[in-house]
Chain A
Amino acid sequence: MGLFIAKRLLRLVATVFAVTLLTFLMTSLLPGDPAVAVLGAEGVQNEELLLQVREDLGLDEPLPVRYVSWLGDALTGDLGESYINSGQSVSDTIGDRFPVTAQLAIMAILIAIVLALPLGVLGAYHQSKWPDTASSAVVQVALSVPNFITGIFLIWLFAVQLEWLPASNWNRMSNGLGANLKTAILPATALATTQMAIFSRLVRSDMIATLQENFILAAKAKGLSNKFVLLRHALRPSSLSLMTIVGINFGALLGGTVVIETLFAIPGLGFRLINAISQRDIMVIQGITVFVAVVYVLINTLVDLFYVAIDPRIRRS
């Protein structure tokens, strides 16, 4: 077990290192000069100033030197400063934005689970009958409609037509939980629809398999109610792979909220990343990309370790 964990951690370090290297190289390969982005087309008229800005940003150093210097700082938690919003530390930016994105991702996962479980159970219990077909149809729709289209639809319905919820922007928790949830519910729901479809399919197929097991037949033979059998005996063993995919998808959602955050103008990591890309704010691009990648890899590792902990067959192999 110890060896397994050590191996996984070693792999994690190697992956994170590769991610930092690739991110650094790719952002450095982006066409254009960050110094020009800082100065603007008009500011660049002064060549002396252009050279000064390049020097200030360390762009006059060779790429390997810049990478080693950046990596050294990053290991101490210093991801540098924004080129564009001068004086703003990238670590602080991530610290401000991560809670917003994490809240969206958590809410999306919760909404998805709450909707997916009944749909999946219903489909499995009434396999090949009309409730199964109906729930499959809902899942099909949720899978085939991109979440930004769902987002646009939700804005149109709940903000423009019904005027129940705001169309955009974000109320921080400090403004009150109610106000916060009012701004979070639509984007979280938009993110949740695809997740819900994936989870529901998983629950349905796992539960169909579970319902064939002998212990289910035994429970039914004892005269237990269908509801009891489904919820107490079948649901738990059918949820293991759901828990795994929830973990993995949570990590993916952290990096996948870019479109929804931009659509709803939510100040999370994704929105900042998009702005940084359009402004050639390379330090911010690198910092956010690496952070999201590290979190994703960490979550995957934790899921692996969780698997090992609960499944002795993996431990033995």
Chain B
Amino acid sequence: MKDKRLYRLLAMLFAFALVAAACGGDSADDSGDAAGDDDQAVDADTEDEVVSAGDEAEGDVDTEVEESSDVAVAGGELIVGLEAEIVGMRPWEDTCGSPCYNVFVTVYDKLMESTEDGSYEGWLFESIAPNEDFTSWVGVLRQGVTFHNGKDLTAQSIADMFPIQQAGSQSQSQIAASNLANVEATGDYEVTYTLSQSNAAFPAYLSRAQLGMVWDAEAAADPDAFNEAPVGTGPFAFESRDLDNETILVRNPDYWMTDENGVQLPYLDKISFRPIPDEGTRLDATLSGTTNVAHTLRQNTIRDGRSARDDDGAEITMYEFQGNNTGGGMFNVLVPPFDDLRVRQGMVKLNSQEQVIEALGGTGISLPATQWFSPDSPWYSEKVAAAYPSFDFEGGKALLEEYVNDPERSDGKAVGEKLEAELSCPPDPTLIAAMQVLQQTLEQTELIELNMTNYDQQTHINYALGADNGFVGSHGAHCWRFSDDNDPSTTINPAVAPPTAEIAEAAGLPGVVSPLNFANYFDGDVFGAAIGAISTDDFDERYALYESIMLKIAEENPIWYSGHTATALITDDNVMGVTSWKLPSGSLGAGMPNAEGRWQQVWLAP
């Protein structure tokens, strides 16, 4: 009997060891360390790594974009593990996030590209210039560029794309957002874009997939066939796609671009993309040599990657990027109790960003956010950072108390009755942990009953979109992400435009409705500033206008922020050129924003 117990105990210990080995980080050095010592070490690290809003990001959480003096070596194959499979290969039709963008930039060249300083320069366009009021833009294509099927790229190729883009579900919205009315070939290599209204930021739209990527319109006439065999002018030509397993692209031998030493690009012979949805497996695939690159948009993976590199000596390089993309949430300001400023302000004051970031696993990785721009963005404003409410339990509680005791409270409840609110996030364990932090703090006030709900990503978006109720949505407090590294107009302008037909009508803007204003917050002055910011190309003027919008948001709190989104490309040590790629003009490129690599100038060190 005793023997049996002993063996059972041993079995349980073995099982526990197996689970612990599988679940635990790779970093722990167990040799002789007492558990208490380990705990202290973790706490100390956490304290050291807290970064405050407004801290200089460079060096802490960003990999610097810089020129490289290394001489590139041609040849070799690169395997990239992506977060998700891409929907399709048609830029005008298929939704395209960060994983997809990595694949698209290998097949398709863009007309414009973003530089290290956030400005835009020509890629396939040698030059582009507006008329005086920014209602017309004339771009001149570079010559000698051919599609993968051997056809020459001309201005007519760009004009021929337009009717397909007008019907494409993805391009169509960008055409509307950019005010684009017509595209015409006004010379062999001269393209004229006519806009319905001014848009000084129009080149930004030519740097993204929907309007900026160039493909053969003739081949695209059969969209299903095109999806199986896409034709662009990019550095790699499509070879095969095994859905959910691997997409393989091979070097385009006729690619037009050379590096500054005259070596024809791309350097690599072949590049493969593999969707690996599990974050741990994707990192392990790179650590084990199954892939050369792991793409991630998750703080936990960045933390694990750092740990593998620093503690286990893994020979990997972390290309980290702290972008403008900001996590947090929004209030549906058309529904009680979020239609009341006191509730929104109170809840924002009760949001401890540091605790939320810690719950998200982002301590030392993500910066707390106060606006749609990260501290190293040219659009970042110290004034906004100072204006955004910091954590203040008593202040937040007082505001909620005022609402709860108001006989005219908007939710119709009796004076003194707790207010009820819904907080919803996608069912990600880290997001749920962050929600629990917020819930705990809010419920400590004893003034609010918070119902937490989790729906899958698509349902989460659908509830906020409200396609069936005039775009009001059926959300309350809703986890969300804001902003990106494109020109501010591309994300801010639709987010502050009239959210419903009724509001547009009341504001004297009939027909100007933006379903992308998910918080449903509308202010005539804010929208006016957004319009003003695309009517001039003067940076200082535009900066002041977007700063005024951010200040208003910090004051009216239709949204709240947790931290900036950290993203990374985690590579083998011999993968070079990720941050040092250049535009045809010689300007340094934007690096790897949102973990989107530019693979034509990446090479493998021997």
Residue of A nearest to B276 (CB): A265
| A46 B173 Cβ-Cβ under 8 A | yes
| A32 B462 Cβ-Cβ under 8 A | yes
- What are the residues of chain A within 8 A of B465 when measuring CB–CB? 36, 41, 44
Determine the main DSSP class of B at the interface with A: helix
Given contacts A33-B462, A50-B467, A145-B18, contact A43 B173 (CB under 8 A): yes
Assembled-state Cα–Cα distance A130/B285 (Å): 40
- What are the residues of chain B within 8 A of A152 when measuring CB–CB? 22-23, 280-281
Residues of B in contact (CB 8 Å), total 65
Chain A CB within 8 A of B30 CB: no
Assembled-state Cα–Cα distance A46/B93 (Å): 14
Assembled-state Cα–Cα distance A96/B242 (Å): 10
In the complex, what's the smallest C-beta–C-beta distance from A161 to chain B, in angstroms?
8
Chain A CB within 8 A of B87 CB: yes
Number of A-B contacts (CB under 8 A): 187
| B15 A145 Cβ-Cβ under 8 A | yes
Chain B CB within 8 A of A141 CB: yes
Q: Contact flags (1/0) for A132-174 with B, using CB distance below 8 Å?
A: 0110111011001100011011011001100100111110100
Assembled-state Cα–Cα distance A86/B85 (Å): 15
In the complex, what's the smallest C-beta–C-beta distance from B61 to chain A, in angstroms?
26
| B274 A168 Cβ-Cβ under 8 A | yes
Chain B CB within 8 A of A40 CB: yes
- What are the residues of chain B within 8 A of A86 when measuring CB–CB? 88, 93, 223-224, 227
Most buried by A among B81, B243, B276: B243
| A43 B172 Cβ-Cβ under 8 A | yes
Interface 9-residue window, one of A14-22, A211-219, A244-252, A267-275: A267-275
Assembled-state Cα–Cα distance A166/B21 (Å): 19
For chain B residues 241-286, which have a beta carbon within 8 Å of chain A? 242-246, 274-278, 280-282, 284-285
Assembled-state Cα–Cα distance A141/B11 (Å): 7
Which of B242, B284, B458 contacts A280, CB < 8 Å? B458
Chain A CB within 8 A of B156 CB: no
Which of A45, A150, A159, A279 contacts B458, CB < 8 Å? A279
| A168 B276 Cβ-Cβ under 8 A | yes
| B285 A166 Cβ-Cβ under 8 A | yes
Most buried by A among B11, B84, B274, B291: B11
| B15 A267 Cβ-Cβ under 8 A | no
- What are the residues of chain A within 8 A of B514 when measuring CB–CB? 45
| B284 A155 Cβ-Cβ under 8 A | yes
For chain A residues 181-226, which have a beta carbon within 8 Å of chain B? none
Assembled-state Cα–Cα distance A134/B4 (Å): 9
Assembled-state Cα–Cα distance A266/B275 (Å): 9
For chain A residues 57-114, which have a beta carbon within 8 Å of chain B? 84-88, 93, 96
Chain A CB within 8 A of B204 CB: no
- What are the residues of chain A within 8 A of B85 when measuring CB–CB? 275
In the complex, what's the smallest C-beta–C-beta distance from B519 to chain A, in angstroms?
14
Residue of A nearest to B275 (CB): A265
For chain B residues 513-572, which have a beta carbon within 8 Å of chain A? 514-516
| A169 B243 Cβ-Cβ under 8 A | no
Residue of B nearest to A31 (CB): B459
Q: Would you list the 8 A-B pairs with minimal beta carbon distance, nearest first? A: A137-B11, A87-B224, A43-B169, A153-B22, A32-B462, A159-B288, A267-B244, A40-B95
